[in-house]
Amino acid sequence: MECLTEEHIKQRAKVLFFTTGILDASTQEIADFAGVNRTLVNYYFRSKKNLFHIVYTEIITEMRTNFAAIYVSNVTFREKVEALIDYTTEFRETYPFLEIFNIQETSKLNNRLETVLRPTCMEETGFFLKEIEEEMKKGTIPAYEPINFLINLMSLISFPIVMKPIFREIFCISTEEQYQRIYNQRKEMVMTILFNNVNQ
Amino acid sequence: MECLTEEHIKQRAKVLFFTTGILDASTQEIADFAGVNRTLVNYYFRSKKNLFHIVYTEIITEMRTNFAAIYVSNVTFREKVEALIDYTTEFRETYPFLEIFNIQETSKLNNRLETVLRPTCMEETGFFLKEIEEEMKKGTIPAYEPINFLINLMSLISFPIVMKPIFREIFCISTEEQYQRIYNQRKEMVMTILFNNVNQ
DNA sequence: ACTCCGTTTGACAATATTGTCAACAAAAGT
DNA sequence: ACTTTTGTTGACAATATTGTCAAACGGAGT
């Protein structure tokens, strides 16, 4: 018999932290957001730090698994890149504040996150980087440091999502529809950019 | 007779907040970092919020001014883009955590930052966007929503800087030199990407 | 020497936030 | 019916952080 409340608090905490972006939420806020008594947060997770760590690890693990699966999947290179774009988009839209937290944490000296992030540095990434290198030799994509291909991909997809509220401010994009129109043409555009400005 | 301490606290706060990335620094931490008594922070700036707001506004204003100057400067389009890349790089390397803070704040409902960010939405940007549109018609750069050109530029330059510690983790880039090697080829690469994959 | 001024300090009170605990409620097992 | 376990609550103590204030300091001007 699983405890519903425990899972419920976890799910709501995920949303509060990484979707809504209240990274410094107090236990009271977390409890309110989950609609439970504050003490329950401590009852199930001992401390706020612990809850945060659990929630964070879960999301990172999920992400890592999905990326790894794409890296080694049995499809063409181009299809892999498309899958990466799609998944990155979906993931970033779900948890736009995860990276924000990552960056802040990594900056702090006393970060124990290394242990969580470190295994991201996995063989699947290496495998895919080799594939990128081959494509560069074939001339399918421009030849640079292979890592820069991935950095470009991440940057062109993630940044606009994470920065959405900022971009809307500085470019005076008043309606959500306007931003969507601008954003919708990005996937195709990014594919074109990555693949040597050659369509299909 | 200017007060040195006031300016000194402000400068150190800038570094602590937006370079080191301790956005949630306590007044004690700020004071320690500036090497002064904690009470002085309140003496000169009334409250922590106020200090933060002053510091933040100063940086934003500086950035805005510089961007605007580039947008309307009397050089070729290509040179403007180069100047934008250079300044963005320099600025982000100086204050990598400014955007992080922006994003977090914009997410909070009670943000008074609008008033600071809003004027970023200035005529100079509009002017440059028109210039981008013309270049697209000329075929110098790929034709998309003009804003996407700027978004691409910002993304390709800013994201790798802001994400540097993360990228080093997930790509296992152990030494600073390694990252520099990868990063150094980016400016030229970004120019090539933006200008239709055509060199010069 | 004295006074005035801006500057600096330590001590204080107000507040917020944390984790714990003992008591209570509800469900499950006997 | 009872006991045991699990879940839930309010109250509490410990801690951290804030802003204020009165007092001390130090130099410039008289």
**What are the residue ranges spanned by the domains of chain B?**
1-46, 62-194
Task: Write down the CATH superfamily of domain B1-46.
Answer: Homeodomain-like (1.10.10.60)
Q: Mind listing the pLDDT tens digit for each residue in B73-116?
A: 999 999 999 999 999 999 999 999 998 888 887 776 545 555 56
**pLDDT recorded at residue A44:** 95
Look at B24 and A24 and tell me if their CB atoms are within 8 Å.
yes
Look at B100 and A102 and tell me if their CB atoms are within 8 Å.
no
Q: Can you tell me the distance from the alpha carbon of A184 to that of A86, in angstroms, rounded to the nearest whole number?
A: 12
Q: Tell me the nt nearest to B41, Cα to C1'.
A: D19
Does the pLDDT at position B122 exceed 90? no
Residues 32-51 of A with CB under 7 A from strand D: 36-37, 39-40, 43
Q: Which of residues 77-136 of B touch A (CB under 8 A)?
A: 97, 99-100, 102-104, 106-108, 114, 117-118, 120-121, 125
Q: Can you tell me the distance from the alpha carbon of A163 to that of A174, in angstroms, rounded to the nearest whole number?
A: 15
Residues of chain A with pLDDT under 50: 1, 110
Q: Which of A196, A82, A84 is nearest to A143 (CA)?
A: A196
CATH 1.10.357 for domain B62-194, yes or no, is yes
The mean per-residue pLDDT over the stretch B21-31 comes to: 94
**B59 or B197, which is more confident?**
B59
Give the Å distances, CA to CA, from B121 to A82, A171, A173, B97: 33, 6, 10, 21
Q: Which of residues 165-184 of B touch A (CB under 8 A)?
A: 165-167, 169-173, 181-182
Does the pLDDT at position B158 exceed 70? yes
Q: What are the tokens at B141?
A: 């750069």
Q: Tell me the nt nearest to A24, Cα to C1'.
A: C17
Residues 6+ apart with CB under 8 A from B189: A142, A144, A148, A152
